[in-house]
Structure 1
Amino acid sequence: MARRRLTLGPTLGPTPGSALGDADVPRAELSPARPLGLGPASGPAAPIARVAAEAAGAAALQELADSVARARDTGRMVLDLPLGDIAPDHLTRDRIPAEDEDMSVLRASIRAHGQRTPIEVTPLVTGNGTGNVTGLIPGNAKGTLPYGLISGWRRLAALKALHAETGEARFATVQALVRRPETVADAYVTMVEENEIRVGLSHYERARVAALAAARGVFPDEEAALRTLFASASRPKRSRIRSFLELFHAFDDILRFPAHLPERLGLTLVERLRAGGRDEIAAALATAAPETPEAELAALGALLAPPRAAKPAPEPFRPGVTLETRLRGRTLSFVLKGPGVTPELLEELRARLG
């Protein structure tokens, strides 16, 4: 029996070798079959894999953007800020500005190696598209500037000095971390803690920042400022800082180098002040007119040194011999002077004392 070839119907599309050519035949992955009953196709549909890849990429980019925003908002991203965008007097500085050897060393280090440690700043305004100040933190003397300095005054001052001296662009910006303290009091605490850790403040500087912060209304009074700013300090230490508050109120406009005042000398000065010696101390400093910290300390030391006991007058011991007695602690000394002091007198005294 002869075999017949079964034909199901006309072929869909051109046959191989036809005039349309194989190149014009749509590929399956480019023109997927449409379900029955959906009507004519309006165009090629995007494959699922490509849609999924684009969605994953968009999600990754959004996550990266969110991470960068969180790092910036939480102060974990170092920014390069123009020097002129920062208000250095946003807070009353705890460290008294002074040109000293440490400042010269800091400038030399930044000149040679650049800034190693970022400063800390806080935003002072919130942008509303009009340039108006809408989020000013109380106590800012430069309300139109974007940022206020929290810590790093010496680094900021060193960069400003280097930029003014050299004009180099590398000194025109400062590396900074943006902090967002909830209150101005929190900003003061951050400033004090940073300086205590890095360099350490003198008792006078501690008392000064507490007094000025209370005067600006950051704290209800000086006692509250002491308790908040130096919460980790021991009670005896806070008591000593409290004593230096008296020096600040009495001599802040008189002392030229108060940050160099050591603790013991400062407490002695407080005792003299309580005894009514303010005018005497002020007059002594005015007379000395010290030009250096060492000269000021020497003037105060001479003023506060206990008076020397008058030297006792020699007593006549015998003709031609005087006697001087000296008692220092548990040591009693007798000094004989005069032409009558002879070897014979020495032997006589030995015999009597023996």
Structure 2
Amino acid sequence: MAKRKRLSPAQPTYLSTAPESKSALGGPGTLSAPPIAQVASEAASEGALQELTAVLETARAKGLMIEEIPLSAIDETHLVRDRLEQDEEEMGALVGSLRSRGQQTPIEVVQLGAEAAGGKTHGLISGWRRLTAMRRLFAETNDPAFATVKALVIHPDGAEGAYVAMVEENEIRVNLSHYERARIAVRALREGVYSSQKYALQSLFANATRAKRSKIGSFVTLVEALDEDLLFPTAIREKLGLGLVRAFAQDPGFATEVVTALRATPRSGPEEEQALLSQLLAVHDGAVEQASVPDEAGTPAPTPQTSTPDPAPAPRVRSLDPADSIGADERVSLQAAAGVRLGFTPGQQRIELTGTAVDSTLMEDLKAWLRSR
């Protein structure tokens, strides 16, 4: 009869350690994952990294990624700004908010290419107030936390898109005056961004009502006539501005009278400038009204500016575009040369030359040219 073999008790630590195996070099080591598993893991990691990189590149290309850019690398003069002045009280409140809460809203910039100079790598599109406040904070505190600014790097469709982005952002955040709106249209035209003033107004203020665009277009006349002589242009009320435009259309010489008065009168605040402009307009309107009063024979007295008693309609002002035809009721205005601005109203058969270069030498040159014409 065969002898039975006694079974040994189970080893409690049998499953607690993995058996030794040969390593890749032939020595003892732990079990490694199968090669196919390693390949799959590496492929998955590489795929995830590529997908993340693509997402980041797409976000950056669309201007959706907030980046931190050194203050010294931003050129705030990249575009002609549409804000003429900054309320110091509002700026102080903004500085206080940035000091206590940090920058909550990024500015918008565009990356500069060949035009970059002086270490400036980005041009400012919108956010001038925030950039200015951050620079003040850094100058006051020298805190590295204020040495950079959060920014969205956008990619506008050319210069027109950049100006539209600036105007739209400021229309949302700040209450621009009609004068500031008209001025940016004039400046953008002079920079060669737009081919005509009409196109500039339609492009920059595409979301505005037709009535609002018409008022901005009227203020273009003030910008072209008085921009160099007004000290507080943003304070001009809508009614006063439109009244001055109407008076300029009735009597082009009135603009010269206003310029002369502005240059001869010191003004310490917007109230004094407004009072001066209102007084000049009242005197002009009074003279026009007096000239239109019938005489004893019942016939209106003739005015020195026109052969008819009725005031001429306000001409629509735009800069000359050779591709457009000039209407009889339009007043063309353009920079003819350095220091010389030319105005032309076909319906009134009138050409005006204004500017610092209009002197006796220019008059003699014009006389010689007209004789040989």
**TM-score, normalising length from structure 1?**
0.68
Which residue of 2 is the match for residue 130 of structure 1?
A: none
Write the distance in 2 (CA, Å) between the matches of 1:109 and 1:291: 31
Q: Which one of 81, 90, 93 corresponds to residue 105 of structure 1?
A: 93
> How many residue pairs get matched?
264
1:286 to 251, 257, 263: 263
- Give distance in 2, aligned partners of 1:198 and 1:209: 17
Q: How does 1:281-320 map to 2 (within 5 A)?
A: 281-305=258-282
Letter in 2 for 1:68: L
Q: Name the CA shift for 1:238/1:86 in 2 (closer, same or farther; >3 Å).
A: same
Which residue of 19, 36, 41 maps to 1:48?
Answer: 36
Deviations 1:95-134 (A, max 9, x none): 1143532222222222222212100001111xxxxxxx3x
User: What RMSD over aligned residues (CA atoms) do the two structures have, in Å?
Assistant: 2.9
Once the two structures are TM-superposed, the CA of residue 213 in structure 1 deviates from its matched residue by 0.7
Note the alpha carbon deviations across 1:244-290, whole angstroms, 9 max, x for none.
11111111110011122221111112123232322332233334422
1:198 aligned to 2:173? Answer: yes
Alignment partner, residue 213 of structure 1: 188
Counterparts of 1:264 and 1:198, CA distance in 2: 24
Distance between the aligned counterparts of 1:108 and 1:165, measured in 2? 12
Task: Please give the per-residue CA displacement for 1:168-218, whole angstroms capped at 9, x wherever unaligned.
Answer: 222211110000112110111111011001113211111111111111111
In structure 1, what is the equivalent of residue 61 of structure 2?
A: 73
Residue aligning to 1:223: 198
Aligned-partner Cα distance in 2 for 1:24–1:255: 92
Say if 1:71 and 1:77, in contact at 8 Å, map to a contact too: yes
Flag the 1:102–1:298 CA change in 2: closer, same or farther, 3 A. Answer: farther
AA of the residue aligned to 2:145 = R
Q: After TM superposition, what 4+ stretches of structure 1 lie above 4 angstroms from structure 2?
A: 22-27, 306-309
3-state SS, counterpart of residue 81 of structure 2: coil
Tell me the distance in 2 between the aligned counterparts of 1:102 and 1:267.
28
Distance 2:245 2:269 in 1: 22
AA aligned opposite 1:81: I
Q: In 1, are the aligned partners of 2:160 and 2:194 still within 8 Å (CA)?
A: yes
Q: Contact between 2:95 and 2:133, CA under 8 Å: does it hold in 1?
A: yes
The one of 107, 112, 130 aligned to 1:155: 130
With structure 2 as the length reference, what TM-score do the two structures score? 0.64
CA contact (8 A) 2:73 2:119 kept: no
- The answer to whether the 8 Å contact 1:124/1:143 transfers is no
Q: CA deviation at 1:301?
A: 2.6
What amino acid does structure 2 have at the position aligned with 1:147? Answer: H
Which residue of structure 2 lines up, in the alignment, with residue 13 of structure 1? Answer: none
Amino acid at match of 1:49: A
| Partner Cα separation in structure 1 for residue 203 and residue 286 of structure 2 | 41
Structure 2 CA distance, aligned partners of 1:61 and 1:190? 33
Contact kept? 1:254, 1:282, Cα under 8 Å: yes
Identity %: 47
Q: For the structure 1 residues 263 and 100, does the alpha-carbon distance in structure 2 shift closer, same or farther, using more than 3 Å as the test?
A: farther
Q: Secondary structure at the match of 1:277?
A: helix
Which has the larger Rg?
1
Unmatched segments (≥5 aa) in structure 2: 1-17, 27-31, 290-373
